[in-house]
A and B are shown apart, each in its own frame.
Chain A
Amino acid sequence: MIYLDNCATTKPDPQVVKAMVEALEQNFANPSSLHSFGHKIEKEMETMRGSLASLLGAEEDEIYFTSGGTESNNIAIHGLIDKNKRKGRKIITTSIEHSSILDQFRHYEQQGYEVVYLSVDGQGRIDRKQLLDEIDDQTIVVSLFHVHNELGTINPLKEIINEIRQKNKDLLIHGDGVQACGKIKIDLHELGIDTYSVSSHKIYGPKGIGGLYLRRGLDISSLVIGGGQEKGLRSGTENIPGIFGFGRACQLAQKDFKKRYDHAVTLRHHLLELLKRHLDRYQINSPEEGSPYIISISIEDTRGEVLLHYLEGDEIYISTASACSSHGTKRSNTLDHIGLSDNLADGTIRICTCKDTTTDDLDQFVKALANYVYDIRQIMGR
Chain B
Amino acid sequence: METVMSLSLGEVILKGKNKRQFIDKLLGQIRKSIRDFQHGKIYHLMGKIYIPYEKEEEDALISRLQHIFGIVYISPCLKVDSNLEAIEEAVLTMVKEKMDREPGLETFKAHTKRGDKSFYLNSMEVNNKIGGMVLKNFDVKVDVHHPDFYVYCDIKKDSYIYIDRYKAFGGMPAGTNGRGLLLLSGGIDSPVAGFLMAKRGVAIDCLHFHSYPFTSERGEEKVVKLAEQVSSYSGKMTFYSVNILPIQKEINKNCPEDEMTLISRRFMMRIAERLCHIKGYDSIITGESLGQVASQTIDGLKVTNDITRRLIFRPLIGMDKVNIMDLAKKIGTYETSILPFDDCCTVFLPKHPSLRPTIEEMEQSEKGLPIEQLVEDAITNMKIVKIKEEL
B-contacting residues of A (Cβ < 8 Å)? 303, 305-306, 308-310, 312-313, 328-329, 378-379, 382
Contacts and interface: CB of A to CB of B under 8 A. Distances in A.
A128 to B, nearest CB: 38
Given A309-B213, A312-B213, A313-B213, A379 B252 contact: yes
B58 interface: no
Given A379-B249, A379-B252, A309 B212 contact: yes
Nearest to A310: B213
Contacts of B249: 378-379
Nearest to A305: B216
Interface string B125-150: 00000000000000000000000000
Given A309-B214, A309-B215, 4 more contacts: A309-B213, A310-B213, A379-B214, A382-B252
Interface string B198-242: 000000000000001111110000000000000000000000000
19 contacts: A303-B214, A305-B216, A306-B214, A308-B213, A309-B212, A309-B216, A309-B217, A312-B213, A313-B213, A329-B340, A329-B341, A329-B342, A378-B249, A379-B214, A379-B248, A379-B249, A379-B252, A382-B252, A382-B257
A99 to B, nearest CB: 17
Contact of B340 (A306, A309, A310, A328): A328
A196 B96 CA distance: 65
Contacts of B215: 309
A281 to B, nearest CB: 20
Nearest to A312: B213
Contacts of A310: 213
A309 B214 CA distance: 7
Interface in B110-127: none
Interface centre among A305, A309, A310, A378 (most CB of B within 10 A): A309
Contacts of B257: 382
A368 B284 CA distance: 40
Given A328-B340, A329-B342, A382-B257, A306 B213 contact: yes
A114 B215 CA distance: 42
A328 B341 CA distance: 8
A328 B219 CA distance: 11
A328 B257 CA distance: 29
Contacts of B253: 378
Contacts of B214: 303, 306, 309, 379
The 3 closest A-B pairs by CB, nearest first: A309-B213, A310-B213, A329-B340
Contacts of B248: 379
A291 B342 CA distance: 33
Contacts of B340: 328-329
A308 B248 CA distance: 20
A305 B346 CA distance: 14
A328 B342 CA distance: 11
Nearest to A313: B213
B81 to A, nearest CB: 62
Nearest to B215: A309
Contacts of B216: 305, 309
Contacts of A312: 213
A378 B215 CA distance: 17
Contacts of A309: 212-217
A379 B257 CA distance: 12
A176 B291 CA distance: 52
B265 to A, nearest CB: 18
Interface in B2-55: none
Contacts of A378: 249, 253
Contacts of B252: 379, 382
A182 B125 CA distance: 89
A303 B346 CA distance: 13
Contacts of A308: 213
Nearest to B347: A306
Nearest to B216: A309
Contacts of A313: 213
Nearest to B257: A382
A253 B213 CA distance: 37
Contacts of B212: 309
Contacts of B213: 306, 308-310, 312-313
A240 B273 CA distance: 61
A306 B213 CA distance: 6
A305 B212 CA distance: 11
Contacts of B217: 309
A17 B252 CA distance: 50
Interface string B241-269: 00000001100110001000000000000
Nearest to A327: B340
A334 to B, nearest CB: 20
